[in-house]
Amino acid sequence: MSKTSQYVSKLPDANGIIQWTDEENQIWHDLIERQLTVIEGRACQQYVDGLALLDLPKGRIPQLSEINEILQARTGWKVTQVPALIDFDEFFRMLANKEFPVATFIRTREEFDYLREPDIFHEIFGHCPLLTNPDFAHFTHTYGQLGYAASKQDRAYLARLYWFTVEFGLLNTEDGMRIYGGGILSSPGETMYALESDKPCREKMNILDALRTPYRIDIMQPVYYCINQLSQLHDIAESDIMSLVEQAKLLGLHAPKFPPKEKMAS
């Protein structure tokens, strides 16, 4: 996790309202209009259904209370305002309490296409639609509980499972492969790359393999893991994940499918 960010989250006023500027609302509008076009025919139906339930505004950034009204009624979850960056203890604690952290800032025009840290567009548009789905919500809750109780070493393995499901997961359907990972669904480039490029490997989900697969956050993913039904996430949550973490630690990591980062010149 990055230690610093150029962004600062906005705090709500006494009425719980966050005041967004006209430019920030315009950036949201431009992001959502573009991405709605890109995900058409590529997002899984459960995500599309959740997006319809949230009925996100296009002309302005939604208030968190608007999202919570839907999430709490459907799955008991809520979104909670956090600083631009939080530590892993806080991240896992929040998920364990059915709180999804949302950093209340939006990217600048200069980082319109790619942003390292998750902004409100990534969190709300990418993840919140599926938090209306009981199977996805249960998996995320269980993951938070496990992570909050885990050691630092074990959390590194758990992070890979989260990456290859919640962030970058693919779903096999009768109509072809679809996307459920929020890291893909909030990125126009990766949305098309994940389904249509011949470069990445698309592997059948194997929890032990996912726990052992290295990843980088700053490149198009060289490997994706695919599930056959979203209910498979519920089954994964009910499996003995921590026992598989122990096996993964003994076996070690798979060789990365990407080159090492280039070192910055001193």
| Cα separation, 103 vs 41, whole angstroms | 29
Q: Say if CB 104 and CB 18 are below 8 A apart.
A: yes
Residue 167 counted as an annotated binding residue: yes
pLDDT in tens, 179-190: 999 999 999 999
Per the CB < 8 A criterion, the answer to whether 116 and 217 are in contact is yes
Helix (H) or strand (E) holding 143: helix 134-149
Q: By C-alpha distance, which of 93, 197, 185, 79 is closest to 141? A: 93
Question: Which pLDDT band, with edges at 50, 70 and 90, does 146 fall under?
Answer: very high
Token representation of residue 23:
């430019």
Q: Is 117 annotated as a binding residue?
A: no
Per-residue pLDDT tens digits for 206-257: 999 999 999 999 999 999 999 999 999 999 999 999 999 999 999 999 999 9
Using a pLDDT cut of 90, give the percent of the chain over it: 92
Pairing of strands 223-227, 170-173: parallel
- Mean pLDDT computed over 83-97: 95
- 254 labeled part of a ligand binding site: no
Cα(20)–Cα(237) distance, integer angstroms: 37
> What's the confidence (pLDDT) of residue 259?
86
C-beta atoms surrounding 86 within 10 Å: 15
Per-residue pLDDT, 260: 84
Q: pLDDT tens-digit profile of 105-145?
A: 999 999 999 888 999 999 999 999 999 999 999 999 999 99
Global pTM value? 0.94
